[in-house]
Amino acid sequence: MIQEANTVILQILLVASALGALVYFVRSGQSVGVRASKRLAFGLFVVVNIYAVLRPEDVTVLARLVGVGRGTDLVVYLLVVGFVFGMLNTYLRDREISQHLTDLARQIAVRDAELTRREEDLERRLTVLEQRASRTNGHRPAVQESGADEVGTAHTGGS
């Protein structure tokens, strides 16, 4: 009787854990970016997990049908496959993020080089203007309007 009570308590804890993981997965902020296939797979995993916790004899029957001696062994084999899938998924995602970071670093380097080139060009132009200003001793060269002199002389000469 105590053994049955302990089994029921363990089953309740395991089912609650599975449901908690499902709720966390669905409600997490990053679940928007998770593909529907991953959501369905995780949901199916939780359902199978709950079924296996509540009906362990059925898992043993299924294990014997596929040629595995015990249900526990079948669960371990499936966990190994799931673990490998998860690790592969993590590796591919990390590689994709690394590629994005490399692309961003390249874009920033090109932008910085362009800004440096523009700054150097502006400094060069400023230096040229300062040199011109120093040649004229700080005075701006007189701007002559050639048309004004001709009109003025023509006007005064005709009176």
What's the rounded Cα separation, in Å, for the pair 77 and 54? 19
Which residues in the chain show pLDDT less than 70? 29-34, 137-159
In this prediction, residue 159 carries a pLDDT of 44
Instruction: Give the residue among 66, 88, 89 at the shortest CA–CA distance from 77.
Output: 66
Amino acid 143: pLDDT: 57
Contacts of 111-117 with C-beta under 8 Å, sequence gap 24+, read: none
Cβ-contact 90, 84 below 8 angstroms: no
CA-based radius of gyration for the chain: 40
Percent of the chain with pLDDT over 90: 42
pLDDT of 151: 46
Entry pTM: 0.57
Q: Which residues contact 54 (CB under 8 A, 6 or more apart)?
A: 11, 15
